[in-house]
Structure 1
Amino acid sequence: MSNELQESFKQAYSNLELLPLLEKKEIENFRVDYGNDSIEKLIQYIEYSPNGDAKIVFTGHRGCGKSSLLAELSRQIQDNYFVVFFSIADSIEMSAVNHINILFAIALNLMYEAEARRVEIPKTTKDQIYGWFATRTRTTEAELKGGLELGFNLLSFLKAQLKADAKVREEIKQEFERKISELVARINEIAALIQVTTKKDTLVIIDDLDKLDLATVNEIYGNNIKSLFQPNIRIIYTVPIAVMCNSFIWENIKSESKNQTELMSVIKIFHKGDNRLPDAKPRSEATNILCEILQKRISSELIDKSAAEMIVVYSGGVLRELIRLANICCLICLRLIRRKPGERIVIDDQIIEQAIKEIRNDLSLRLGKEDFQILKTTYENFEPDDVQQSEFLELLHGLRILEYRNDETWYDVHPILVETLKRRGLIN
């Protein structure tokens, strides 16, 4: 019995990995119908682009399901477009991302996907492009003679170098800092060659830019957005939700993108203020969606119904937090199975309390007095004193504060942190 139970919880733990749904098997097993409004709006922006060069900016809280949604979007439109979908985190060390290596990553991934899908580009033209990549990254003759032919091997090598080698990234920056137009021209050339052969326009989707720290985001989208928007192709960029509170940068983004922005909202568990009332009931629409997500990953025999609803409430409507809380519950249960072989172990309210304690300590770590004051004010007023205050933006970026929308925009403290505020005597 213990072995069977242990294997069941191990499988549930594996199902609860904090990763987007990208592979076909994962999608078939775990995808829930969610975010269709955002997909429809993004498709409209893509299809209605008069010049075929729409720059679309997609935002939302970290962990709200943007990556899975973008993957689903790419599947829905891949018959009509040559879609190149990549994560900036897989292409460049996150601390080293700038507008130049984003554009270089676009060019590199375009050519890589063209090669992977056997797009028939004339050999002489292809060799010129490969030679351009080799020259601009100082790839040496010795490396080329060592097996890096002007082809797929070179592209794979350069992708690895861009990710891991700071020297290569610095060389790219120095090469193109004052001649972005050359880099943009190369992107346009590759996209044009793909279009001629495949008869499809190119769409590039860059995921995980929303996970950059806010200072880097401000530099990229505040000072260099015009460079990012120069290529004559459709591109979807992601940004952190906190950027929307920075009036200068957000207005800049809206202006340059021609208002082609889309926000993926957090699932609203309660109507504004209802969670302050005794015996408040969560919205059934929210509970149904989030419980379905759990049901696809955890057997009903392993979790009490009331416990599943409790996980939903404490997630705050953020998919990542829902998965993280359930994931930790599975680990706790696996430890209990080893300590108490033969006993019936399920995820119940007591298990969830232990998991919440772990997450609460993690969320509270590194919070100072000013942070707690902002949390208190936000809890009491459903907004901070200043939405542009850097400390508030960091709390929003780090999921300590969550943004909700209906007829108005309002904010609330992550449900797991509310108990911390009570223990500190900051709220009743």
Structure 2
Amino acid sequence: MSTSSSRIMASSISSLSSSLSSARHSSSSHITKTYRQASTLFLTRRLPEALSTVLPLITPPAPEDPSTDAFDPAPVARASRSTRIKVWSLYLTVLNAILELDSDEGKQAFGTHEWRTLCTKVRDGHIWEEVVHDGYHDIEGNVDADVVINLATILLAHAKTQAVSQKRLENYLAAARTPNLDISDRFGESSRRLRSPAKASGGADTPRDLNARVKILEIYTLHVLPRNNEWEYAHEFISMSAVLDDERREAFLQALQSLQDDQLDAEKREHEEREQQEERIRRDIEEARRLRAENEERERKRLEEERARRQAASTTTEGDYGVETAPSPSSAARRPVPGQPKSTPRSMPPARKGKAVVAPPSLGKRATMVFHNLRALVDQMSASVRMNPFVLYRTLAFIIGLLLMFSRKSIRERVARVLGTSWDKIRSTAGMGVKVSYI
């Protein structure tokens, strides 16, 4: 009985192992076929189709019982290491190509909501957590080194800051140096499939693993830490790293110093350019002030000259039209008297020396003077009205009163009689004056 039971158990185990191997083989072939299809779509720049094709490989299946905490990783986690690296690398490459699209092109290809979701997932660094959770069962140190390199590269290109990259790389390097003391993989098939072979002894068993670790150190010390201004820490990390030999350590230190010198030179040039720009702005402001002062001075001189011309024109007009010249005695003496014989004309006495003969102003000049005087009168009236507007009201009231007064016929007739009588008196007085002058 014991022998037959042992044979039955052995046959059952062998049949179970064969069924598991066949299922694993079919799953691996399906993943490989899907990967090739997604790669072809990506190479033909059909990004939406490529993303939708590769997503089922990296998306964990929904749990059968939502009330339990059981979690199954993505299908790619059960594939071989090379296939797993290819699938995750293709996914990250597709995301990188999507983020390099223009905003309008990306929204048109994926829709506004999905486009913004993809951009936010990469720029905020959530893509790293997604890869570790869905593909490696939240074990940071089990992530393949090539996948870590691709994650750090895409974050370097598109992340807002490198704080997430620094934290994730430090966690990965610390987990990779820590030995795996979990012995549950000896009793569970799922744990053996989740455990990365390269992490058994620190991840540097082969030259390929060593090169990948060196590449990660290069990204961490020469790209991520300088972006965060951690120059001294990068120098100390390179100097104390056990992965780097003397030749690589010296090359890393030289490259770090070169990067720091380039940054200092760039900051110096930026400072000089900023100072030059500020100097140009300062000169432009001073030039604008000088031009404004010159314009104000030119306008002030023009106003003074115009005021002087007005005053001169006003003075000349008062001298020409404000004083009447009396007839000279010589002209009265030269008038003929009735009954007296005409005298022979005498020669005019010579003009006194030292007095210049002033020519009378022309008609155009007199018209100009009259115009200036009228304009000055209007300006004075407008200024007085602005200073005391009640003068205008009184004037308007006076004019309205005159109009109302002259609108009555009796008043018009009376004013006409008064004006006629006054004009007759003036005319008779003028006639008597002419007779007296004649006599």
Which TM-score band applies after superposition, normalised by the shorter structure? under 0.3
Q: TM-score scaled to structure 2, two decimals?
A: 0.22
The structure with the greater share of residues assigned to helix is: 2
The structure with the greater share of residues assigned to strand is: 1
Q: TM-score scaled to structure 1, two decimals?
A: 0.22
The higher relative CO (CA closer than 8 Å, separation ≥ 6) is in 1
